[in-house]
Structure 1
Amino acid sequence: MTIVDIAKESGYSVSTVSRVLNHRQDVSPEAKKKIMEIVKAHNFVPNTNAKRLKQNTSRNIYVLVKGTSNMLFANITEEIQSVVGQTDYALNITYLDEDDNIGSETMRICRERKPLGIIFLGGRRDDFSEDFSSLSVPCVIVTSSAADWGVEGLSSVSIDDEKAGETVVDYLIQNGHTRIAEIGANLEFSQTAILRHNGYLKSLKKNGITPDERYYERARFSSYDSAYQAMERLLDKDIEITAVYAVSDVMAIGAIRAILDRGLRVPEDISITGFDGSKLAQYYNPKIVSIRQPHKDMAERSVEMLFRMIDLHKPACHEMIPFELTDGESVKKGGKQ
């Protein structure tokens, strides 16, 4: 009997079970009662030697984070640390540049560190091709769906990025914007960038707007600097822009700075939307309209999937988590623009 088994039988998450076993107060009385009934019924004894076990490399779990400026990844990583920290697994975090090869780094870690499982934050289908065909370590990728990748042993937790992109561009159009630019990520490095761009195109076409390549700009990395430079390139073009769809909150903030440095106003002159629903976007001035990804749910589900694959030998599974469009002050509302 493990905490994964208890979570499965009780219907509560692994993190909730962990909080009950660690006598945390942030658990409902109903959840605590049901979980403790199962604990007593199975004579489950929590492991009190977690610190000693964490020194054993055979209990290692790795998190590979692709990119160093992604605020969503930072939030998810923090939640994963919180959940895993209440178990007898040791967590190791490795950061990769956006253009680094995930496959070769994963094979190195598996060869040298012998992890029990790996969680990936970011990545694209090409990262999980030939090298992963012989990989027997359970893996979960977060923020990208691997449902149609055909990689055995790779689960995934994500939102519907294409639908989310379509939703936020629909919002701009519903508020009167028809000359909408996009600041996107490098399509060579990011599967989510492709899906979010597809959502942008789908919304334009659905609403009778002909896509124009002059309105696209790609940032090499998802960073403030790259987005700032991309926005500058858009402003230097001989086109009229009333709104910008940025595919991350980081990019939206970088773009806003470029707009303000040109003596323009947000949203009076140019409206802007973000993506990810980060806390910074919520507290930024102006508050940024964004797509909120439930980072806590995504983190908990990814850990639960990995534990089930490790402890219960369950097959890979794929789950999409609902997203939410958050309102803000960064979009000018009104008639056709």
Structure 2
Amino acid sequence: MKATIKDVAREAKVSIATVSNVINGKDIVKKETREKVTRVIEKLNYVPDQAARTMIRKKTNTIGMVVPSLSNEFWGSLAGNIQRQLLNFGYTLLILTTESDPKVEQISLNTLKERNVDGVIIASLGLGSKADKRYVEALLEWGIPLVSFHPYEKKLTTVWGDYMASSMEVVDHLISLGHTKIAYIGSYLSGIERELGYRNSLMLNRIPVDERLMISGQEEKFEFFSQYGYDCAKKLCKDNVEFTAIFCSNDLIAIGAIKAFEDMGMHVPTDKAVVGFDDINMASLYRPALTTVRQPITEMASSAVTILIEQIEKPDTDHFAKTVTFPMKLIIRESSGAQI
């Protein structure tokens, strides 16, 4: 028969309130008493009723996270970092994926509300329309603390990277190696900032932007990235528009592009230089090793968690929306053709 809190109190010869205080980590219980209650809990294999604790405390100690997909290592790594850091604060993480479908994203956010999560981290890029922004506004009105990894609207605190500046650095790097015909493969899930960085670098270096060398991917709902990169690279080559280098908006797209060039009898970086973005684990192991941009995932996750927990645990404090921007780092490897 399952032990109850009454059984623990009786065995430890303390009140039910004392047992409750020990379970909830209250520091008002003497060390000797806390240790005695803990021993009894272990002896009786008592497991607190989470539903009952939630009703009493009106907290679930659960954070919801909405991501576009876990098939891209970047999102999985981000979620893993957030989960580890939440555990330090006594919270667990509930992850929902949306495949970047705004309708699924809305259902996911509504599900998190119904689950009575204490806060939400939005890391999906599906919320682009005015209707979707109103939905985020509704979550804020319901009083659910929110932190985002994309700037949906001004009332939402955002943690993200300086993607435009780092993308400019990527293109500047290729130009420094002598490339002037540089293609670009973007993605709906990468946002517009990387494309803007690509355009800005070309213009500042007085190189005309050739729209024939650009595949933005902004109309795609979701891409299986490696295959998407493979198909786009082949398309660029079949269009017979000259280019010697290509900037891909994430590493999986870049890896797909490299495979396409190899299948067409070209060598990277001799025939085509390739640069990615994100610095996933595979980037350094792939051959040729991928030049890419490293995002400080651990630091970004820590910032998001700290901000969200502060909103949750200090509800009476004014929490003004802010944007926390992290610098990225260009990691130069073999695929861009630079001397390492």
Query: Is TM more than 0.5 here?
Result: yes
Deviation of 1:53 after TM superposition, in Å, equals 7.4
What's the counterpart of residue 330 of structure 2?
325
Match of 1:137 among 122, 128, 144: 144
**1:217-236 paired onto structure 2 within 5 Å:** 217-219=215-217, 220=220, 221=223, 223-236=225-238
Greater RCO structure (CA 8 Å; 6+ sep): 1
Q: Any unmatched runs of 5+ in structure 1? A: 1-39
Aligned to 2:194: 196
Give the 3-state SS of the residue equivalent to 1:176 in structure 2.
coil
Tell which deviates more after alignment, 169-178 or 55-64.
55-64
Alpha-carbon separation, structure 2, partners of 1:52 and 1:145:
39
Partners in 2 of 1:327 and 1:184 — Cα distance? 20
**Residue 88 (structure 1) aligned with residue 90 (structure 2):** yes
Q: 1:61 aligns with which of 60, 63, 79?
A: 63
| SS of corresponding position for 2:191 | helix
**Which of the numbers 137, 155, 158 marks the counterpart of 2:157?**
155
Aligned-pair CA distance for 1:128: 4.7
1:1-337 to 2 correspondences below 5 Å: 52=48, 56=54, 58-101=60-103, 104-123=106-125, 124-126=127-129, 128-135=132-139, 136-142=143-149, 144-146=150-152, 149-151=153-155, 154-186=156-188, 190=189, 192-219=190-217, 220=220, 221=223, 223-313=225-315, 314=317, 315=319, 316-333=321-338
1:245, distance to aligned residue in structure 2 (A): 0.2
What CA distance in whole angstroms lies between the structure 1 residues aligned with 2:100 and 2:201?
28
Distance change in 2, residues 1:75/1:60 (3 Å): same
TM-superposed deviation, 1:238: 1.3
Structure 1 residues 305 and 222: alpha-carbon distance in aligned structure 2, compared to 1, 3 A threshold = farther
Q: What is the distance in 2 between the residues matched to 1:305 and 1:226?
A: 35
What letter matches 1:327 in structure 2? I
Residues 61-85 of structure 1: CA distance to partner in whole angstroms, max 9, x if unpaired? Answer: 1111113332211111111111122
Secondary structure of the corresponding residue to residue 334 of structure 2: coil
Separation in structure 2 between the aligned mates of residue 283 and residue 304 of structure 1, nearest angstrom? 33
CA displacement at 1:325 relative to structure 2: 0.6
What letter corresponds to residue 193 of structure 1 in structure 2?
G
Match of 1:11 in 2: none
Q: Counterpart of 1:132 in structure 2: which amino acid?
A: V
Shift of 1:102: 6.2
Normalising by structure 2, we get a TM-score of 0.76
Spell out, residue by residue over 1:257-277, the C-alpha distance to the aligned partner (whole angstroms, 9 max, x if none): 111111111001000000011
Q: Which amino acid aligns with 1:323?
A: M
SS at match of 2:102: coil
Q: Which amino acid aligns with 2:247?
A: Y
Q: CA RMSD in A?
A: 2.8
Q: Which amino acid aligns with 2:329?
A: E
Asked if structure 1 preserves the Cα contact closer than 8 Å seen for 2:66 and 2:109, the reply is no
Instruction: Give CA deviations for 1:120-164 in whole Å, capped at 9, x if unaligned.
Output: 12325437511122322111112x245xx223xx22111111111
Secondary structure, aligned partner of 1:157: strand
Residues 103-123 of structure 1 show CA distances to partners (whole Å, capped at 9, x for unaligned) of 522442244211110111232
For the 8 Å contact 2:122–2:148, the answer to whether it is kept is: yes
| 1:332 CA displacement | 2.2
Distance, in Å, in 2 between the alignment partners of 1:212 and 1:119 is 38
User: Distance in 2 between the 1:183 and 1:201 partners?
Assistant: 12
Report sequence identity in percent. Answer: 28
* Structure 1 pair 304–122 and aligned structure 2 pair: CA distance change class (3 A): same
Q: Which has the larger radius of gyration?
A: 2
The one-letter code sitting in structure 1 at the alignment partner of 2:162 is D
SS at match of 2:335: coil
Letter of the 2:137 partner, please give it: S
TM-score of the two chains, using structure 1 as the length reference: 0.77
Q: For 1:286 and 1:54, locate their aligned partners in 2 and report how far apart those are by CA, in whole Å.
A: 51
